[in-house]
Structure formats: structure tokens, C-alpha cells
Copies of this chain bind each other. A is one copy, B any other.
Amino acid sequence: MDLEKLNLVPLSKVIGKLKNVLLPIKKKGWSNIDDSIAKILADDVFAKLDNPPFNNSAIDGYAVKVEKIDEEQTFKILKKTSTPGSPFTGILKNKEAVKILTGAQIPEASDKIIFDEEVNIKEDKFSIRFKKNESSNIRFKGEDIKKGQLLFQKGYSINETDMPSLIASGNSRLATFDRLRVGLLKTGNEIKKKKIGKSAGSVLDSNGVPLAALFKRWGYEEISLGNVNDNLPEIKKALSQNLETVDVIVTTGGASAGKEDFISKLLLSEGEVYAWKIAIKPGRPIIFGRWNGKYIFGLPGNPVAAFVCALIFLRPSLGRVAGEINWFEPLSFKVISAFKKTKKVGRTEFLRAKLEKNNTVSVFPYEGSGRLTSLAWSNGLVKLDDEISNVVIGDKVTFIPYSSFY
């Protein structure tokens, strides 16, 4: 295959185009924090409360007021203990100490918590010498989050690690974009939903379930548009009937460079094409565009290619359409190649790869995308950029764990 002859568009150019043309389309709604994972903020979020809400102890110890540095002082321990939820509310005088537990509010006058372990109690007293620049062991009101502070920006996708900050800042109810409804249409005369039976040349639909699982993982609602034959009127009918119920359309199959190329035909003749004939592997044939006011993402029919292209193209594209301001970039790592490979310059390749414990990465021994077990075997993708022509054992290569896309 001569890549030049095929006029394939480099991946970076395709991503650049998608970044420019795709726009957020969802309306603002409301979410409770416990149903907010993978939802996207429809407004900036500001802190309504300080965190910590009050000065509190970072340790288990004794709260005192420091009067002198580098000189022994003796403190008398009061009877009351300051615990989380039951703080000492009396007046702490000079030369008095109050037992305090981690997280408990500190007495107003106190400016220092002494570690339990540093205190040598005799009867109800202890003596101690403070040094200069010692930590106060106090967590100060608002030192983590200040009331009024901007915490998260509109277009940010919420995850588990954001939840404590959101709750503690008084944001347990959030303005979010409604979940994206993704219509999934599978095309192909050969695809059978349940049983292959006796139809010659038929295969089971192994695309729909993993793609629907990805959409769910990404926070979207999958709307199945079913399986249709490679037949333009049938495809148009299936899409037209569901146009109102879906926000975007994802198709599999039918975008072949061969004769039976119906999604391309549809977009080229009646729609708008954003990207087609992309210089990546696996990935051909793909087509992205717009038809009757809806974005359409035409993925390959091959389940390995469809899955990889969903990670590479759909994750950021659907994210943007769902309201994400920043273009999604998966976390990637430089690791050591345990494989060798030559490739064509001008094409980006994604290899099903397995990261081993010693920071080295292997690739599946068979490159063909007919190998479904290559997905199950691997835990991520090695990305070989356009300009790379050769990889040898020991080279640094880019590895993207599948979990980076979830």
C-alpha cells in the first residue's frame, strides 16, 4: 500500500479539525453529588464554605499557647479533652494544656499542639522546651479551601477524587450538563445479534456490547439503534426514525473503502464530512461528520479497530460534545520496548500492548485486527507516531493504559 497515493490525513490534523468543529450541545441540569461521576460542570463552582471549617489539630496531642522559645515551660493539663465533635470550649489560659485529638477544634487561645509522644506527664503536669520554627500542628480554617474561591471550572468532568472538595465546600448539588444520549447503529449484512445459525459468512455482533460499556463508563446513555444491513435506505430509515431521541450517532461497519460503503456515501452525498481516510492503524475505514443536524461518528466494523478508534477519537470528541472544555488527553507513559517493529512513516499506529512489572512493554504477536483476543490480552496501547519508522528492543515508547481512557 502506498500511503501517499491514498491521500491519508495525519492523525494530528484530524484531531485539530475535530477540536475546531465539535461544539457542546447539552442543556444545563442539576446533579446530586452522589450521582455526579463523569458528569460535566455546566457552571463554575465556587466554595460556599471554608475548609477546614475551623482551626483544628493535625495530630493527637496537647493544645497550648507558646509563650517562650528555647526555655523550658511547665503546663498543667486540664480535665476536659477536645475531641472531634466535642471541642473544649472553655478559656485556655497561659501555662494550661488541654488534651486534643486529631481533627478536634483547638481552643481559641492555643497556637501550638504538642505531640503525645513528646510529653512526659508527671501527675497532671509536663514540661517542654519549644524550638524556633517548629510546626504548630494546626490545620487553619480555610487553609485548604477559602469561601468564595473558584474550585472547578465549567466544562470540567467530575470524578471520585473531586468529591471531598465539593462536599466540604458546600457543593453537594451541582449544575451539570445532561447526560449525552449516544445512538449506536451497527451496520453489516454479516452481523447477527444472537446466533450465527446457518447463514454463510455471518458473525456475531461483538461490537455493540463493549462500545455501550464504554459509553456508560464515560457517563453517557446508550440508545441502541439496532443492526441494519449495508443498504442506504435502511440506514437512512434507522437514523431518521431516531434523530429526535439521540444527541449524536455512532455507527460501526459500513464505512469501508470498498464498494459497500454506506455511511461514507451518506455523509459525502447528503451531509458534511469532517474527517475521512485517516493515516492510522488500526482504524480504517472511519468517517466523521454531520448529517441532518447530528454529529455522526462512523467507526470500522472490526471490533478491535472499532474499540481502539472509540478510545482515540470518541472519548475526546464525545467529551467535547457533552460539554468538556479541555480536549481529553489520556495519561501516557514512556516505557521500555520489549519488541521490535518497522513501520511506514506518515501513519500513526496503535499496538495492543501489555505493560509488565519492570516498566517494559510487549505487543501482541499478531498485528491483524481480526484477533479479538489481542484486546483481552493487552492492558493498553503503544502509540507509534507518524515519524517513527523503526522500534528496537530497549527503545522508549509511549504507552497508554486502557484505564487512562475510562
Q: Give me the interface of A with B, judged by CB distance under 8 Å.
A: 1-2, 5, 33-34, 37, 49, 51-54, 56, 58, 60, 81-87, 89, 101-105, 115, 117, 139, 143-145, 151-152, 159-165, 167-168, 170, 172, 188-191, 196, 199-207, 209-210, 212-214, 216-217, 229-230, 253, 256-260, 301-304, 307, 331, 333-335, 355, 359, 368, 370-373, 375-376, 378-380, 401-404, 406
CA distance A209 to B87 in the complex (A): 26
Q: Are A257 and B60 in contact (CB under 8 A)?
A: yes
Q: How far is the CB of A162 from chain B (nearest CB, A)?
A: 5
Given A210-B164, A258-B101, A355-B331: A373 in contact with B144 (beta carbons within 8 A): yes
CA distance A159 to B203 in the complex (A): 22
CA distance A379 to B369 in the complex (A): 32
Minimal Cβ-Cβ distance residue in B for A189: B85
Task: Enumerate chain B residues within 8 angstroms of A203, measured Cβ to Cβ.
Answer: 52-53, 84, 103, 168
Q: How far is the CB of A314 from chain B (nearest CB, A)?
A: 13
Q: How far is the CB of A199 from chain B (nearest CB, A)?
A: 7
Q: How far is the CB of A201 from chain B (nearest CB, A)?
A: 4
Q: How far is the CB of A100 from chain B (nearest CB, A)?
A: 9
Q: Are A256 and B102 in contact (CB under 8 A)?
A: yes
Given A1-B117, A85-B189: A406 in contact with B404 (beta carbons within 8 A): no
Question: What are 18 A-B residue pairs whose CB atoms fall within 8 Å in the complex?
Answer: A83-B189, A83-B230, A84-B190, A85-B191, A85-B229, A145-B372, A160-B213, A161-B307, A161-B376, A163-B209, A163-B210, A164-B207, A164-B307, A165-B376, A168-B203, A168-B372, A333-B359, A401-B404
Given A205-B167, A368-B139: A200 in contact with B87 (beta carbons within 8 A): yes
Task: Enumerate chain B residues within 8 angstroms of A204, measured Cβ to Cβ.
Answer: 49, 167-168, 170, 172
Per a CB cutoff under 8 Å, which of B54, B301, B403 touches A84? B301
Q: Are A101 and B260 in contact (CB under 8 A)?
A: yes
Given A85-B188, A87-B200, A189-B84: A206 in contact with B164 (beta carbons within 8 A): yes
Q: Are B209 and A33 in contact (CB under 8 A)?
A: yes
Q: How far is the CB of A228 from chain B (nearest CB, A)?
A: 12
CA distance A115 to B258 in the complex (A): 12
Q: How far is the CB of A402 from chain B (nearest CB, A)?
A: 6
Q: How far is the CB of A378 from chain B (nearest CB, A)?
A: 7
Q: Are A60 and B258 in contact (CB under 8 A)?
A: yes
Q: Are A167 and B370 in contact (CB under 8 A)?
A: no
Minimal Cβ-Cβ distance residue in B for A89: B200
Q: Are A189 and B86 in contact (CB under 8 A)?
A: yes
A188, A203, A371 pick with most chain B CB within 10 angstroms: A203
Sort A-B residue pairs by CB-CB distance and give the 9 closest, nearest first. A85-B189, A85-B190, A84-B190, A105-B201, A87-B201, A167-B206, A164-B206, A139-B370, A403-B403
